[in-house]
Amino acid sequence: MSGGQNPLSQLTDEELIAAYQRGSSDAFDVIVARYKHPLTNFVYRFVGDYDECDDIVQETFVRIFRKKHSYKPRAKFSTWIYTIAGNLAKSRLRQKERHRLFSLSSFWTGEEGGKEIDIPDVQYAADRDADSALKHDRIQKALNSISPKYREVVVLRDIQELSYDEIAKVTGLNLGTVKSRIKRGRTMLQALLKDIVDE
Amino acid sequence: MEYEMIDTNDYEEERNPIRKVLKSLPKVHASDDFELRLKRRLNQGEFEKTSLSDILFSPKRVPAYSLSLIAIVMTSVIIYYSIIRTGVAPDDGFPKPKEMMREKQPETLSVTQSPAHVSGVPQRKFVVDAPKRFPQEGQSATSLPSKESTQDALSKRGLLREVGGTQTRSTRSLEIPELGFFQKLQSAAKDRWGDSVARADSVKRDSLKRFQESQQKNPK
Model pLDDT, residue B115? 45
CA gap A56, A50 in Å, rounded: 10
Helix (H, G, I), strand (E, B) or coil at B145: coil
Give the DSSP letter string of chain A: ---SS-GGGGS-HHHHHHHHHTT-HHHHHHHHHHHHHHHHHHHHHHH--HHHHHHHHHHHHHHHHH-GGG--TTS-HHHHHHHHHHHHHHHHHHHHHHTPPPPHHHHHH--STT----PPPGGG-TT--HHHHHHHHHHHHHHHHS-HHHHHHHIIIIIS---HHHHHHHHT--HHHHHHHHHHHHHHHHHHTHHHHT-
The answer for residues whose C-beta is within 8 angstroms of residue B128's C-beta and 6 or more apart is B108, B109, B111, B134, B150, B154, B159, B160, B161, B174, B176, B179
Model pLDDT, residue B154? 63
CA gap B29, A36 in Å, rounded: 8
Model pLDDT, residue A172? 94
- Interface contact B3-A136, CB threshold 8 A: no
* Contact between A49 and A89 (Cβ < 8 Å): no
Segment A160-170 mean pLDDT: 95
pLDDT in tens, chain B (220 residues): 444 445 556 667 778 889 999 998 999 999 999 999 999 999 887 555 556 676 677 666 777 888 899 999 999 999 999 987 765 555 555 655 655 555 555 555 555 444 444 445 555 555 555 544 544 555 554 444 445 556 676 666 666 555 554 444 444 444 445 556 667 777 777 777 666 666 777 777 888 888 888 888 886 5
Provide φ and ψ at B108, rounded to 5°: -105, 145
Give the DSSP letter string of B24-51: TSPPP---TTHHHHHHHHHHHHHHS---
Model pLDDT, residue B157? 64
Q: Which amino acid is at B53?
A: S
CA gap B217, A97 in Å, rounded: 117
- Interface contact A1-B39, CB threshold 8 A: yes
Of A136, A157, A180, the CB nearest to B6: A180
CA gap A27, A35 in Å, rounded: 12
Mean pLDDT check: name the lowest of A25-34, A162-171, B14-23.
B14-23
Mutation target to probe the A interface, by most A beta carbons within 10 A, among B8, B14, B23, B25 is B25
Model pLDDT, residue B181? 67
B-chain residue closest to A155, CA distance: B22
Model pLDDT, residue B117? 45
CA distances from B138 to A101, B112, B152, B171 (A): 94, 12, 19, 22
CA gap A6, B185 in Å, rounded: 110
The answer for residues whose C-beta is within 8 angstroms of residue A196's C-beta and 6 or more apart is A135, A138, A139, B21
Query: What's the pTM?
Result: 0.54
Helix (H, G, I), strand (E, B) or coil at A23: coil
Q: What is the pLDDT of residues A52-100, one digit of tens each?
A: 999 999 999 999 999 989 999 888 999 999 999 999 999 999 888 877 6
HSE-CB at B29 with a 13 A cutoff on CA atoms is 11
- Enumerate residues 152 to 171 of chain A having a beta carbon within 8 A of any beta carbon in chain B: 154-155, 157-159, 164
Helix (H, G, I), strand (E, B) or coil at B90: coil
Of B26, B28, B41, the CB nearest to A40: B28
- Residue A30, min C-alpha distance to chain B (Å): 11
Q: What is the pLDDT of residues A101-141, one digit of tens each?
A: 555 554 445 444 444 445 454 444 445 567 888 889 999 99
* Contact between A133 and A117 (Cβ < 8 Å): no
B171 closest CA partner among B107, B111, B104: B111
B-chain residue closest to A160, CA distance: B23
Beta strands of chain B (E only): which ranges?
107-112, 125-130, 161-162
- Interface contact A180-B21, CB threshold 8 A: no
Q: Which amino acid is at A120?
A: P
If one counts every other C-beta atom within 10 angstroms of the C-beta of residue B132, the result is 10
CA gap A95, A85 in Å, rounded: 15
**B4 vs A contacts (CB less than 8 Å):** 180
- Interface contact B28-A124, CB threshold 8 A: yes
CA gap A189, A177 in Å, rounded: 18
pLDDT of A8 above 80? yes
If one counts every other C-beta atom within 10 angstroms of the C-beta of residue B47, the result is 6
User: In whole numbers, what is the pLDDT of chain A averaged over residues?
Assistant: 85
CA distances from A182 to A155, A187, B105 (A): 9, 9, 97
- Check if B217 contacts A (Cβ < 8 Å): no
- Residue B89, min C-alpha distance to chain A (Å): 54
The answer for residues whose C-beta is within 8 angstroms of residue A147's C-beta and 6 or more apart is none
- Enumerate residues 49 to 88 of chain A having a beta carbon within 8 A of any beta carbon in chain B: 50, 53-54, 57-58, 61-62, 65-66
- Check if B60 contacts A (Cβ < 8 Å): no
Give the DSSP letter string of B59-74: GGGHHHHHHHHHHHHH
Give the residue, B119 or A175, on which the prediction is more confident. A175
